[in-house]
Homo-oligomer: A and B are copies of this chain.
Amino acid sequence: MKTYLDCFPCFMEQALRAGRIATNDEKKIKRLLDEVGGMLSSIPLESTPPESGKVIYQKVSEITGIPDPYKEIKRESTEKALTLYPSLKDEVKKGKDPLLTAIRIAIAGNVIDFGANSHFNIEKEVYEILRKDFAICDYEKFKVQLNESSEILYIGDNAGECVFDRVLIEEMKKPVTYVVRDVPIINDATYEDAIQAGIDKVATIISSGTDAPGTILGTCNAEFKKIYDNANFIISKGQGNYEALSNERRPIFFLLKVKCHVIANDIGVEKGDIILKNSEFKDYRI
C-alpha cells in the first residue's frame, strides 16, 4: 500500500504517542516532533507506511534514549492475553464452525496495536468480533487452500496478539512457521514475545529479519525470503503487514481489524470492519 496524504498527520501523532510512552520530558518530545516534522519531506507517497514507521520509531528511541519503549506494555499485553487463553479455547470448542471462530479470535487479537491506538478493551473486542459480520470474508477459499497446503507461513503482528494467533494455529492442524520482527518496534511481536505467548509449543518461530513495523521484503533476511517465496499458504496479520504486502503477488490471506480510515479506503471497507481477504493470487505450484 502506498502512503496517503492522511498518513502524514498520523506519523506526527504516532511520534507523539510513542514519545509520551518513552518519556515525560516535554522538551525531548518537542524535539522529536520537530525532527519527525522535518523528515516528512523525505517520505515519498510511493513508499509504504511501515518504511516510514521504521525511521520514525527509530527516531523516538534515539531522542528519548529508550530503545524499546513498549517493552513493559508488550509483556503486560501477553500476560493479559494468556489469562484469556482458556476462555478463547472454550469459544472455539463451542463455536458452530470452530475454524471460523478461531479466525475471528485471531482478528480480535489484532486490536492490541499501540501504533494505531492506545485505548482498547480486549474482552469487549473479542465479544464483538465473535458476533460481527465480516466486510470481506474469503473463508471458502481459505478452507480450500488450507486443505491443499502441507504447511502454513503465518506472519505475526503484535505482542499479546500472538496468544490469539496460537488459538488459530492450533485449530488449523498443520505445521506452521510463525514469523516475528527481528527487533522491537512499537508493540510488534519479537521472538521473545512469541515465546512468552507459547507459540513455540505450536509452531516454529522465525524472524523475518525486519526492523520495520510491517514485513517490508527489502528489509527481510534470506531465510525468511526463501520460505516466503516458496510458501503456498500465507497468513498475514494486521495493518502493518497489509501495508507492506498488499501489492504482492503471493497466495496471502490478510486477517485484520481495520483501525484507520486510510486502510479502510485502500481496501474499500469501513473503519472498524473485520477482514479475511485473499490476495487473489493463486499459486499454481500447489
User: How long is the Cα–Cα vector from A45 to B26 in the complex, in angstroms?
Assistant: 10
Among candidates B20, B30, B40, residue contacting A37 with C-beta atoms closer than 8 Å: B40
Is A228 in contact with chain B by the CB < 8 A criterion? no
Contacting pair A8 B26 (CB below 8 A):
no
Among candidates B5, B6, B26, B41, residue contacting A5 with C-beta atoms closer than 8 Å: B26
Give per-residue flags for A8-31: 1 if the beta carbon is below 8 A from chain B beta carbons, else 0: 111011001001100000100110
- Stoichiometry (number of copies): 2
Among candidates B12, B34, B41, residue contacting A34 with C-beta atoms closer than 8 Å: B41
Q: Enumerate chain B residues within 8 angstroms of A37, measured Cβ to Cβ.
A: 8, 12, 36-41
Contacting pair A16 B8 (CB below 8 A):
yes
Q: Enumerate chain B residues within 8 angstroms of A8, measured Cβ to Cβ.
A: 12, 16, 33, 37
How far in angstroms is the closest Cβ of chain B from A43? Answer: 9
Size category of the A interface is 20 to 34
Beta-carbon contacts under 8 Å, A228-251 to B? none
Q: Enumerate chain B residues within 8 angstroms of A35, measured Cβ to Cβ.
A: 41
User: How long is the Cα–Cα vector from A30 to B43 in the complex, in angstroms?
Assistant: 10
Contacting pair A29 B5 (CB below 8 A):
yes
A residues in contact (CB < 8 Å) with B: 5-6, 8-10, 12-13, 16, 19-20, 26, 29-30, 33-41, 45
What are 23 sample pairs from A and B whose C-beta atoms fall under 8 A apart? A5-B26, A5-B29, A5-B30, A5-B33, A6-B16, A8-B12, A8-B16, A8-B33, A8-B37, A9-B9, A9-B10, A9-B13, A9-B16, A30-B45, A34-B41, A35-B41, A36-B37, A37-B37, A37-B38, A37-B40, A37-B41, A38-B40, A38-B41
